[in-house]
Structure 1
Amino acid sequence: MSLTERLTIDMKQAMKDKDKVRLSVIRMVRTAMKNLEIDAKRELSDEDVITIMNRELKQRRDSLQAFISGGRQDLVEDANAEIQVLISYLPEQLSEDEVRAIVKDCIAETGATGKSDMGKVMSALMPKVKGRADGKLVNQVVSQELQ
């Protein structure tokens, strides 16, 4: 079952269960998917849907930080609930140790020796970890390994 089909089924179930948080998150993702389909003029793959979900997850995490710093506990709880719904659809995330191992392999593959080779390493690395690791974490690990 594709991720698009799963979202449709889960949206119907959320309507039946009157789960407003899950329903609103799924609708938001489906709207972003529809907009991308229209722009790209093609049907989206699961990889495209995961990219959309990662973008939405990043937005929620940024909002969460703003809500925490602003002392808005009510909004913090809502953002956390939305984050949990999005995470449930994403593939298993890599741990920092797993990312570090992949980074070391990419550094060896590209022959990178210092910070100036960071772009080369990142371009080889990102397809391997796309959707399975946070970009900030990947960037941080690459920076540490290239020092």
Structure 2
Amino acid sequence: MSLKERINEEMKAAMRNGETAKRDAIRLLNAAIKQQEVDGRVTLGDADIVAVIEKMLKQRRDSISQYEAAGRQELADAEKFEVQVLSQYMPARMSAEAIAVAVQAAVVEMGASRASDMGKVMAVLKPQLAGKADMGEVSRQVKAALSGAGV
């Protein structure tokens, strides 16, 4: 079953079970997916849908911090619920050790030896790790690996 089919099935289940908040969160996801498909005139695959979900999660996390700073806990709680629903569709996260192994393999593959090679290494890692790892953590590990290699 594709990710898109799974999302649609879970929306139907939420509708049958009367879970309005979950249904609404999934509808927002479906709308974002359809918007991407219409804009690009393509049918999105699982990897593209994961990218849409990542973008939505980032937006929700930003909103949560802003709502909490403004003292609007009820809005922050609604966003937290949407994060919880959207996170169900993300692939399993890689451990820090697994990220380190991938970073070292990419550094060796690219023959990277200094900080200026970071872009090349990240270009190799991004398609491999998108959706599976926090790219901020990947970037930190690449920077650490290259600064250690360049000394």
TM (norm. structure 1) is: 0.92
Structure 1 gap ranges (5+): none
Structure 1 residues 41-82: Cα deviation after superposition (integer angstroms, max 9, x where no partner): 122111111111111111111222222333332222222211
Is residue 98 from structure 1 mapped to residue 98 from structure 2 by the alignment? yes
Q: Which residue of 2 aligns with 1:37?
A: 37
Q: Distance in 1 between matches of 2:145 and 2:93?
A: 20
After the TM superposition, which residues 126-137 of structure 1 pair with which residues of structure 2 at under 5 Å, given as runs? 126-137=126-137
Structure 1 segment 1-147 matched on structure 2, within 5 A: 1-147=1-147
Q: Percent identity?
A: 37
Compute the displacement of 1:116 (Å): 0.5
Query: Which ranges of structure 2 fall in alignment gaps of 5 or more residues?
Result: none
| Runs of 4+ displaced beyond 4 Å | none
CA distance in 2, matches of 1:63, 1:82: 11
Letter in 2 for 1:139: S
Distance in 1 (alpha carbons) for counterparts of 2:145 and 2:76: 34
Taking structure 2 as the reference length, the TM-score comes to: 0.90
* 1:86 partner letter: L
Q: How far apart in 2 are the matches of 1:112 and 1:69?
A: 42
